[in-house]
Amino acid sequence: KLSTMKMLLLLIALLSAALLASAAPPTCYSRVLSLSKEITESFKELQTSKTVDSCVGTLPRLYLDIHNYCVLAKLRDFVAYPGCDRVLEVNELKEKARSLYTILISYCRRDLVFLTDDCNALEIPISPPIEHS
């Protein structure tokens, strides 16, 4: 019985190690990309929410493209915007934006390549293509 138990534990350990080895660790790029998408989606939800304070409509637009060098200025402007400090959701969003900015300028600055510096592109987000069924 003991040897069967040892074999079973060894098998479980080997399978766990194989699964962990096949999962790629998050890269700086993947972290920045997922956080920017999360922030953009949260901002969209905040803009369409009926229960949030009316000051949310005055916030600067927050469409993020981490391949655009202007994203740094966009994040700085959003975090420094003085309005809506009394709204919890806005403060949480500003904190996420501050984190993304820090990651971009500190941890990932050598890993990222900015493909454009078109600041207007961050004002008018490109809509995803409409899928026809």
Q: Is the pTM of this model over 0.75?
A: no
Q: How many helices (H) and strands (E) does the chain have?
A: 4, 0
Average pLDDT per run of 10 along the chain, which is 133 residues long?
Answer: 69 65 66 91 87 82 87 92 86 93 84 80 61 48
How far apart are alpha carbons 48 and 28 in whole angstroms?
30
CA neighbor of 84 nearest in space, from 92, 72, 76: 92
Longest dimension (CA), the chain: 70
Rounded Cα gap, residues 34 and 30, in angstroms = 6
CB 90 within 8 A of CB 80: no
CA distances from 123 to 10, 37, 68, 96, 120 (A): 55, 16, 12, 19, 5
Question: Residue 79 has what pLDDT?
Answer: 92
Give the model's pLDDT for residue 121.
Answer: 82
Q: Check if the beta carbon of residue 92 is closer than 8 Å to that of residue 45.
A: no
